[in-house]
A and B are shown apart, each in its own frame.
Chain A
């Protein structure tokens, strides 16, 4: 086995010629990028040891439609499916609504390539992020989405990044670049899941959301991989004047799962709402690092993340709010609540506030608790068994956050999934889903 720098980048696929200069630069940078260790502040509670494997490239695998339908909720969406990083046209919609431009990097024409080159990486943090650098170094194909100014796309877009395969460990490098034009509106559901097979996989996914003035993007990031389907991902958004980002994250646990959600409020009047749910159990691990960069005045951010951590699982939540000196009249709220349903479950929750402006409203709170004994008693006093009452309370705790998700069909599809996380026996969730 080679060095981790080599094995992690070994899955790189062929890239179009116009992308090679950027990719070569990223490759150079990657060679000297230190890998995070437990001594790296941002990685204190998350070990990347599960990445020590001999990864190869993800191979195309044919999945049948029924299997994919079983994995992806039907939310009346346009659907694009990628399997192990390879576009699967047979599983994807071929019609696009007016106002939405969509092209794979591999198929971009000159003018599209020029726009991609112009914007790719522009939402990434200036100081770099090791796994964003790796994404750039291993990048072969990606998806470019542009919403025309003023276009309001009613149908949500569902992007399924699936992994599947037996045999050797492999890596996948998904990349999404979204440009939402002025006063446009789009809902995107990014759905990560493993579609079967025993091979360990590592998805290193980077999404960039660039919102022009007045644009609204509803972004859903569902990380449903489990077990050996490892995931390190980054969602980096930049919001111009009066733009709105509504972000919803759902993370089941896996051997390793880490998501960095970074929102730059770069234009006055920008508004970000971040909601999230994480549900590790067994020996799973999930880590959400969120960061709100309030760079200019008059922006608001409201963030609510909740987790239910069971068995011997571990969750990490780090919520950073950085209010720059000029960002007066900022309103920022952060709430992180955790429910531990087992004595061996663990969570590390840390709000991290850096406030350099004086005229701001900033509220934050983090709690870690067990199931409420009085609520449990109330349910039991109506005849509900203890086991079912526990499922109901765990479900209710996160369902409150799910209710803020704007897409109703998605909410309906996710409710049974949430309930099933707490109910070992399906009869225990029969009243919830």
Chain B
């Protein structure tokens, strides 16, 4: 599904990713943990094609294609979805308009017909229910005035509607109360399948209590310094990152 090889990237002239390699097979859920500032969000942004994130070396292959050669919107249409750590507010554009534009763009790319208003509304309502967001959020400006937790659930709402093949959740669990955490976890679990993979960036083992990861990686100093099964997360929870200092250096 996704193969990252020796990825180097810089932001504002500063090297952040320094030889990151990672492979995500189809159907698997991989958790990425790591200290603040280690480059986890940077990885997500590079994969989603955010301007200003310059790849200086390495390759990323997604479903056999050179991901880095694709425009941001092409990546999204091909099935890459990044749930932002800090979702963006777009006042004046309703969530509904935004969602419809997104879903139409992705469906068109897949050769599917644009959904009529009624069918779309039905789907959107159902997704709201799964994301535990009141339907009034469809009428509000995109993320406008949403609380931190509501923004995260709005990211989930988008993911549910866009049905990506690779979902990258950048700290979607941060700032969520325990009920909302379960909502996000159930949302992800409901989407799990043989053809869909997830990268969960998180600081907390508790998310992984609800979503069983196939692999856990530690990202530090711009590289994956340790990989293991779900028990690695428990170990990190217990010991922190200090014991990895040798690798980080």
List chain A positions with a Cβ less than 8 A from chain B. Answer: 373-375, 377-386, 388, 392-393, 395-400, 403, 431-432
Q: Are B97 and A381 in contact (CB under 8 A)?
A: no
**Which residues of chain A have C-beta atoms less than 8 A from B109's C-beta?**
383
Q: Are A382 and B105 in contact (CB under 8 A)?
A: yes
Instruction: Encode B155-180 as 1/0 by CB contact (under 8 A) with A.
Output: 00010001000000000000000000
Q: Are B48 and A381 in contact (CB under 8 A)?
A: yes
Q: Are A392 and B102 in contact (CB under 8 A)?
A: no
Task: Write the chain B residue with the least CB distance to A382.
Answer: B102
Interface of A is mostly: helix
Chain B: residues with Cβ within 8 Å of the partner, total of 32
CB distance from A155 to the nearest CB of B (A): 27
**Which residues of chain B have C-beta atoms less than 8 A from A396's C-beta?**
90-93, 141
CB distance from B105 to the nearest CB of A (A): 4
Q: Are B90 and A431 in contact (CB under 8 A)?
A: no
A382 in contact with B162 given A392-B93, A392-B98, A431-B100 (CB within 8 Å): yes
CA distance A380 to B90 in the complex (A): 13
- Whether B88 is near chain A, meaning CB under 8 Å from some CB there, is yes
CB distance from A381 to the nearest CB of B (A): 5
Q: Are B49 and A381 in contact (CB under 8 A)?
A: yes
CA distance A336 to B75 in the complex (A): 37
CA distance A392 to B50 in the complex (A): 19
- Whether B237 is near chain A, meaning CB under 8 Å from some CB there, is no
**Which residues of chain B have C-beta atoms less than 8 A from A378's C-beta?**
84, 87-88, 90
A-B contacts, 15 of them at CB < 8 A, read A375-B90, A377-B48, A378-B84, A381-B48, A382-B98, A383-B102, A383-B162, A385-B73, A385-B105, A392-B93, A393-B90, A393-B93, A396-B141, A397-B92, A432-B93
CB distance from A414 to the nearest CB of B (A): 13
List chain B positions with a Cβ less than 8 A from chain A. Answer: 48-51, 71-73, 75-77, 81-82, 84, 87-93, 97-98, 100-102, 104-106, 109, 141, 158, 162
**Which residues of chain A have C-beta atoms less than 8 A from B106's C-beta?**
382-383
CB distance from A391 to the nearest CB of B (A): 10
A388 in contact with B84 given A373-B51, A375-B90, A399-B93 (CB within 8 Å): no
Q: Are A383 and B91 in contact (CB under 8 A)?
A: no
Please indicate which of the listed interface residues B92, B100, B105 has the most CB atoms of chain A within 10 Å of its own CB: B92
Q: Are B91 and A381 in contact (CB under 8 A)?
A: no
> Other than the known A378-B90, A381-B48, A398-B92, what 6 A-B pairs have Cβ atoms closer than 8 Å?
A382-B76, A384-B98, A393-B93, A395-B93, A399-B92, A431-B97
**Which residues of chain B have C-beta atoms less than 8 A from A386's C-beta?**
71, 73
CB distance from A415 to the nearest CB of B (A): 10
CA distance A286 to B71 in the complex (A): 37
CB distance from B81 to the nearest CB of A (A): 8
> B72's contact among A380, A397, A431, A432, by CB below 8 Å, is which?
A380
A384 in contact with B90 given A373-B51, A379-B98, A431-B100 (CB within 8 Å): no
CB distance from A395 to the nearest CB of B (A): 7
Q: Are A388 and B101 in contact (CB under 8 A)?
A: yes
